[in-house]
Every structure is written in structure tokens, then in C-alpha cells.
Amino acid sequence: MPSRLLSSDAAVLLAERVRGDVLGPDHPGYDAARRVWNGMVDRRPLAITRCADAHDVAAAVRFAVEHDLPLAVRGGGHNVAGTAVCDDGVVVDLSPMRDVRLDTARGTVHVAGGATWGDVDAVTAPQGLAAPGGVVSETGVTGLALSGGVSHQRRRDGMTIDNLVSAQVVLADGRQVRASADEHPELFWALRGGGGNFGVVVALELRVHPLGPEVFALNVAYPVADARRVLRGWRDLVAGAPDELTTAGLIWSLPDVEALPAALRGAPYVGVAGLWAGDPDDGERVTRALRRLAEPLVDLSGVVPYAELQRSLDPYFPAGRRYYWKALYLSTLADDAVELTVGRSEQRPSADTLVIIRHCGGAISRVGAGETAFGDRSSEWMLSIDATWSAPEDDDENIAWTRAFWDAASPWSTGQTYFNFPGLLEDGEAEVRSSYGAGLDRLARVKAAYDPDNRFRLNQNIVPAEGLSRVP
Ligand code: FAD
């Protein structure tokens, strides 16, 4: 029978069961520990368990289940909707679990469940190797991986989930299982796109690929007045590009940094950015036409260490600001879709808002829709609307602008959302249905088998299929 806990009880009782620290509302570190990357998120858990190991994870999960408390899982804390924290429940915080070990013989990297991409790159990049992950080093590996994972080298090496070899998972009943192609294969299938629905991943193993240490990074900014011409030209040039070339077209504002002439700082621009994952010496030639789509404001393209490229965007996505993001896959990037993107971007309420169209395809689309839970990969283009602002009084305007843009884009949408970016879970059910499509029933069966009571539900939630029971 679940018991009601006073806020101070939960942390005290849980602390008796784990090695790591447990922070309740009375703890001096509580407010810092409940904060996540998105400054809009303000939730008050009963207890935050800083897990030292998988045993702590299992103990915290069992505790939440025993007391029928909401359960949140925290990796890098970068989920835009703030799903890493909950009100009146238990946070399983894996941020102390960040070990990374490279296994060159297997061609994989073993990553603890709370590691960030910076932790991984620090181990792999000096060896000229990389696991395809996020483009901001502070994002968590596991949170990003479970919903897909689009990297700078995604067209050559696929999504992060395409490189998942195995995962150690603590289930809702506290048991730990290993999921791979041979062990718990249905769970392994579901983890590759199904998000945090099935348990807590305490460790995963990812395939690594030769890349760097030096790479050619493309980064050219044109006047925003040329946005239509530049985005159309970029689209046409990259349509037949080799897999080594992964790019995006974007509308943003130039940063206020000394490296730029004063007149350009803060100016809106249309950009073409990306990575040539082939020989860096070929990068200049391969990207030349992309750097001449109009007269550039500034062209910062060149050869850089991969690890540096991976950290270069960090300052532009600081923790504590206000963020509301949405991303959808486009069936086509026809001229009218470019027109919509440019027109809406011109009206964005905040100059800090980024609108970016990622070129996908390549290795991503060579994986069949049924092979992973991620589903359909046929779209070549992902439109991401990343509203970013500072003042709480501007919330309504920025959220309304994002939603209106999203609605206006629906004629070009494949119906599939990229689940790593949604800023709130408010219309989750419809998006889960349209995004997983044919795979949803299978996901619901795996959910019923591994989390029949839907304990892991602070996510793009998959409701367990009815009438099915746990598998051994
Ligand atoms: P958290 O908020 O800690 O976790 C998010 C959710 O993931 C949790 O609520 C839980 O459901 C699940 N989860 C996390 N860890 C575990 C675990 N160990 N076991 C089980 N479930 C877990 N995405 C891309 O694909 N490519 C990018 O380049 C990229 N760049 C980004 C840059 C920024 C600045 C931000 C904010 C996001 C970016 N994202 C990117 C999106 C990112 O993948 C998601 O926000 C993701 O949820 C972040 O994972 P996290 O561990 O940091 O988040």
C-alpha cells in the first residue's frame, strides 16, 4: 500500500538506501540541484538522488515505486521540456556517473548513464575517433541517444541510436538487464528511438568512427536579405552531396564577440554550417560553392580540432535562459517551404531565436523504418524552431510565435516530430501517435513488458498495451 510521505521524510528515508547524496528541500544545495538547463522549468521534487552507481539507481527507482511517487530521470539536464525534474517525486540524478572508457579492439566506447558529450569527446577525440552525438558538449549522452541523436557527422555515421551496441538498463522493478541485438532484443529495438520510457540506462556502448583530430568545419554567414536565395541555393547544392558532407541552413543573429567587426555584432544572418567528415584538406574545395551563395558577411570556415568544434556552440546555449523548441521533418523543401521559413523567421519576437533546417538523409535514411523504434527516416530535412529569450513576460509571445510557425509548416510536415527538441509535453499524445506511426503498437507492447505500470512517464509517453504482462 503506498504511503504518503512528508517532503522531509523522503530524502531522509532514501538516504538510508543509497551511497550517493540525497537532497531534499531542506538541503542547502537543493535549489541548484533542481535547476535544469531551461530557465522556464521550476519544479520541486521531494528528493534528488545523486546516484553513485547502478545500485543507487535501482534503490531510488524501487523507493519511488514503493511510495507511488512521480519518478524523473536526469542525465545532462538539457531536455527542453525539463523532463529531468518533477514536482513532489523522486529524481534519479545520474550526473555523478560519468565514466567513459574507449575499447579500441571492439571499436566502441562505454559510457556511464550520466556522461555528457564533452566527457565522451575528451576520451575519443585525441584518438581520432568519434561517436556521433550532440553538437553542444554539455548535453547528456543518454537522453540524446534514446530519442535519436543528430550529430555534425549524421549523414556519414547515422544517428546516435544507429551506433548503439548495448545498454545496461535498470527496470521499474529495480532489476538490471543488458539489452543488445541478442539480449532482450525487443527492449534493444525500443531503446533506439523510444526515449526514456523503458527504464534507466546506467551505461551504454556506442560504436566509434574515425574522425579528426582535425576536421573541416563549414561556417559562413550571409546577409539575411539574401535568405531566400541562400537557402534555395544551399538546398540545391547539398541534395546530391556525398555522405561525408553534413550541413544545415539557418537564420540567427551574429554573436556579440570581439572576433567579429563591431558593425556585424548582433546582426541577423542566414548561415550555412556543417562538417566535412572526409579528408580535411579537401574541405575547402568541397564546400567552395556553399561559401559563394551570395556575398558573405563573414566566412569562418576552416580546419579545426573536432573537439573544439564540439564545444564551439556551448556559449550560445547557456543554462538559465528561456527556451521553447519544436522540430518536425519535412516531406519536401520546395521553394514555398523556404518562403515560409524565411517569412516566419523575419517576424521572430526574439533576435536570439534560431531557425535551422538540418540536412538529413545519407546513412540515416539507409536504416529501415522498422529496424529501430525511431521509425521513418525517409525525410531529408528537419526544420527546428528554437525560440530563445530572457524575460518571463515575453513567454507568451515567443511560445505563440513558435506554435503558429509550427502550425503553418504542417502542409510540408511528414507528421513526424523530432522528440529531442519539444519544449513542453502539452500535446504529447497526438505527436507520439503521428511520429511513431506503425511502430507505436510494438512500442506499447514492449512498454507493457518492461514498464507495465508506466512508472517512466515523464517523456513522450508510450502507454503500455493493455492485457500484456511482464516478460522475464
Ligand atoms: P535530461 O534533461 O537529463 O534528460 C532528458 C530525458 O531523457 C529524461 O527525462 C529521461 O526521460 C531521459 N534520460 C536521460 N538520461 C537517461 C538515462 N540515463 N536513462 C534513461 N532515460 C534517460 N539533440 C540532438 O540530437 N543533437 C544535438 O546536437 C542536440 N543539441 C542540443 C543542444 C542543446 C543546447 C540542447 C538544450 C539540446 C540539444 N539536443 C540535441 C536535444 C537533446 O538531445 C535533448 O534535450 C536531450 O533530452 C538531452 O539529454 P540530457 O540527458 O541532457 O537531458
pLDDT tens digits for 61-90?
999 999 999 999 999 999 999 999 999 999
CB-based contacts of 123, cutoff 8 Å, min separation 6: 100, 101, 102, 109
Distances in Å between the Cα of 125 and the Cα atoms of 18, 118, 129, 148 are 34, 10, 5, 21
Fold of the 4-93 domain: 3.30.43
Q: Is 139 in the pocket of ligand 1 (CB under 6 A)?
A: yes
Alpha helices in 387-439 (DSSP H): 395-408, 428-436
The answer, as to whether pTM is greater than 0.85, is: yes
Q: Is 132 in the pocket of ligand 1 (CB under 6 A)?
A: no
Give pLDDT, residue 421: 87
What is the CB-side half-sphere exposure of residue 423 using CA atoms within 13 A? 22
Give pLDDT, residue 1: 41
d(CA 472, CA 235): 49
Q: What number does CATH give the domain 100-211+438-450?
A: 3.30.465.10
> Do 204 and 168 contact (CB within 8 A), yes or no?
yes
Give pLDDT, residue 10: 86
d(CA 427, CA 430): 6
- H helix or E strand, kind and range, residue 298: strand 298-299
Grid coordinates representing 144 are: 540524446
Going from N- to C-terminal start, the domains of the chain cover: 4-93, 100-211+438-450, 214-424
d(CA 71, CA 221): 44
Residue 322 CA, ligand 1 centroid: distance in Å: 17
> Do 276 and 212 contact (CB within 8 A), yes or no?
no
CB-based contacts of 343, cutoff 8 Å, min separation 6: none
Grid coordinates representing 131 are: 561517436
Q: Is 113 in the pocket of ligand 1 (CB under 6 A)?
A: yes
Per this entry, what is the length of the chain? Answer: 472
Site to probe by mutation for ligand 1, drawn from 92, 138, 142 as the one with most ligand atoms within 8 Å of Cβ, is 142
> Do 192 and 205 contact (CB within 8 A), yes or no?
no
d(CA 208, CA 215): 16
d(CA 120, CA 141): 8
d(CA 173, CA 171): 5
Site to probe by mutation for ligand 1, drawn from 53, 71, 73, 151 as the one with most ligand atoms within 8 Å of Cβ, is 73
d(CA 167, CA 202): 8
User: What pairing do the DSSP bridges indicate for beta strands 268-276 and 354-359?
Assistant: unpaired
Residue 139 CA, ligand 1 centroid: distance in Å: 6
d(CA 197, CA 463): 9
d(CA 432, CA 456): 15
List pLDDT tens digits, range 29-60.
999 999 999 999 999 999 999 999 999 999 99
- H helix or E strand, kind and range, residue 100: strand 100-103
**Residue range 214-424 in CATH 3.40.50.300:** no
Query: In this structure, which amino acid lies at residue 427?
Result: D
Residue 111 CA, ligand 1 centroid: distance in Å: 15
Does residue 213 have a cis bond before it (omega within 30 degrees)? yes
DSSP character string of 212-225:
-SEEEEEEEEEEGG
d(CA 188, CA 179): 5
Q: What is the number of the ligand 1 atom nearest to the C-alpha of 459?
A: 11
Residue 78 CA, ligand 1 centroid: distance in Å: 5
Residue 148 CA, ligand 1 centroid: distance in Å: 10
Q: For each successive 10 residues of the chain (472 residues), what is the average pLDDT?
A: 60 92 95 97 97 98 96 97 96 98 97 98 97 96 97 98 98 98 98 97 98 97 98 96 98 93 95 98 98 97 97 96 96 97 98 98 96 95 98 97 96 92 70 86 96 94 78 48
CA-based end-to-end distance of the chain? 24
Q: Is 79 in the pocket of ligand 1 (CB under 6 A)?
A: yes
